[in-house]
Amino acid sequence: MNRVYVIGAGAVCAIGGNLEESLRSLEAGESGLVPAPASLTGTGLPVGLVKESDAVLEAGLGIPSYRLISRTALLGMKAAREAWKSAAPKIRRVGRIGLISGTSVGGMDLSEKYWKGHRDEIRSGRPLGEAALDYLRMHACGEGTAAIAEYLGLGFDFVTTISTACSSAANAIMLGARLIAAGELETAIVGGADALTAFTINGFNSLMIYSGKPCRPFAEERDGLNLGEGAGYLVLSSSSEGALCEVAGWANVNEAFHQTASSPEGDGPYSAMTKALSLAGLDPSRVGYVNTHGTATPGNDASEYAALRRVFGSKLPPFGSVKNLIGHTLGASEGIEACFCAASIAGLTSAWGRPDCILSNAFGFSGNQTSLVFLKCGEPSEAVTVDRKEIEPVPPAGFKRTSRGDYDLVAEVKISEGEEPDYKAIIKNANLRRRMSSLIKRGVAAGLECLSSAGMLDSEGKLKEELGGLITATGFGFLEDTLKFGDSIIDQQEKALNPQPFMQSTFNTIGGQLAQLLGERCYNMTYVHGRSGFGAALADAALLMKEGSGPVLVGWFEEDNAVSDSVLRQLGRKVLPHEARFMLLRAK
């Protein structure tokens, strides 16, 4: 097992156009929260706005202005380029290199603008004009990552996108670390990007957890979060040369509690934090600072604080949140915050004192919770004590090599649109089922049927054996719900919106619902990178089994949607398979 080092970092957020500037503001405690500009939303809610306009970002990146690029991708390019520039001089051998990026809504900033004036034209399924295609082509999360990869031009061996709501970037960092630890990659650019959108601002506002005032994480009188935008990337390497710090531990769990709420006792956060520390071989007393998820919603902060108390007892280290300065940057949050963690350990800022070890949290909808441990280089730790099975190395981009010999395909179940089974008989929990959209039902049912035909479920529908992971992939995800919520923003002038379609549109919903139905707190991941995202999901499953995990449930889901089909056709790409397909894999 290789150690994993952070050798470069780059960030752009509401308090700085690069990492150095952001660190200065962080140290000064300067807030970047401002009332949202009218061009974005009429709500006037506080947001963490990146100061550079799209045009300024494009000019700085040397991108010709005739090329329409989503703001999410522009922010990502800027931060990833800074990270790579700071790392490149330290690298002797790049070796196999990957780019793994997290995002919550991808190129929504661009597509929602066009949707507003051209809904009927797009929905009709008629051939789209050039302008429409320009605006819509980057909507899918993977397109932004592909644009960043193309811009960096490093000849990546592996490129993928993770979307697990607010833990996306944390999971991207974790996957990069796991691939380097396992020897699959030698260098990885990992993090996330998200631009502010009317979609997300109205989404959180409809859930009544968006504060009208600058947010106050962990304060008694806190009343919700503020969103922000930005991007942050780390360069991870198997070589320690010039390293800022080490990524010593990581863990992802599903809280299996509720789609949007956190458990009052902090069960999920407790489990993520203790697992990450135990993987690092570190006692909690070694932690010098905790960078919390700390969104300032009443629920998150209570749950996270309860978990901190359980992990650290009476010896709670200093902890804090940067969300009162930069806002909650959703899928980018841990990307930016991990840069702050690495910089703190390297002594580039004293905003958080001089910690040698930082525990950093990121929690997302559908119970997706991740903790990372950053450690000063040379500090003693028992790097990684997992039982490793001998499995042939997996080429991260594919799965063909491993499918032959290393694990068995125990069961496979496919449900296509129009061939719907009796969902009441399969998804027995009526309270969860009644809220599911048809695609969610299809995916959840395919997952349950797959487990059932693999003999994994008892007569009550409970798992007989723990799962090693629950991994899904999709191209456009829950597009119908996304469009429905987009429509309501326009039709109801951002007022009294129903939060259901917003919640359901989160890409990791099926994985989260399965975890909740099964009461399974295992590793939970969602790839949103077109067709190849499913390859990444399978590679992740193979990696989990190589790390010693039990059987892994891997699924693909995509709905039959005229809008996504029409965009793909006109881009000259293949339409994605409209089905829910799950496989259960088990190491030999």
Partner 1 sequence: MEERNELVQKLKGELIDALNLEEIDPEGIGTDESLFGAEGLGLDSIDALEIILLLDRNYGIKIKNPAEGKEIFKTVGTIADYILAHKAE
Which residues of this protein are in contact with partner 1, per CB under 8 A? 206-208, 223, 258-261, 298, 430-431, 434-435, 496, 498-500, 503
Query: Residue 282, SS3?
Result: coil
Looking at the Cβ atoms of 259 and 274, the one nearer to partner 1 is: 259
Q: Is 484 exposed, middle or buried (0-12, 13-18, 19+ CB in 10 A)?
A: middle
Which residue bears the tokens 């996957």? 175
Q: What is the number of helices (H) and of strands (E) in the chain?
A: 21, 18
CB of 300 to partner 1, least distance (A): 13
CB of 498 to partner 1, least distance (A): 6
Report d(CA 67, CA 391) in Å as an integer. Answer: 45
At 222, give phi and psi (nearest 5°).
-60, 145
CB of 358 to partner 1, least distance (A): 32
Quote the tokens at residue 42: 């009429």
CA dihedral 542, 548, 549, 550 (to 10 degrees): 100
Looking at the Cβ atoms of 38 and 430, the one nearer to partner 1 is: 430
Looking at the Cβ atoms of 260 and 333, the one nearer to partner 1 is: 260
Looking at the Cβ atoms of 298 and 393, the one nearer to partner 1 is: 298
Query: At a CB cut-off of 8 Å and minimum separation 6, what does 429 contact?
Result: 517
CB of 149 to partner 1, least distance (A): 37
CB of 260 to partner 1, least distance (A): 7
DSSP character at residue 225: B
**Is 523 in contact with 175 (CB distance < 8 Å)?**
no
Looking at the Cβ atoms of 13 and 165, the one nearer to partner 1 is: 165
Quote the tokens at residue 493: 């002038």
Looking at the Cβ atoms of 314 and 431, the one nearer to partner 1 is: 431
DSSP character at residue 238: S
CB of 515 to partner 1, least distance (A): 16
CB of 299 to partner 1, least distance (A): 8
Looking at the Cβ atoms of 224 and 469, the one nearer to partner 1 is: 224
Quote the tokens at residue 334: 């841990």
Looking at the Cβ atoms of 208 and 219, the one nearer to partner 1 is: 208
Looking at the Cβ atoms of 332 and 503, the one nearer to partner 1 is: 503
Quote the tokens at residue 22: 């952001």
CB of 6 to partner 1, least distance (A): 38
Furthest C-alpha separation in the chain: 64
| Alpha-carbon distances, residue 227 vs 25, 33, 305 (angstroms) | 18, 9, 21
CA dihedral 475, 480, 483, 487 (to 10 degrees): 180
Which residue bears the tokens 């032959």? 404
CB of 137 to partner 1, least distance (A): 33
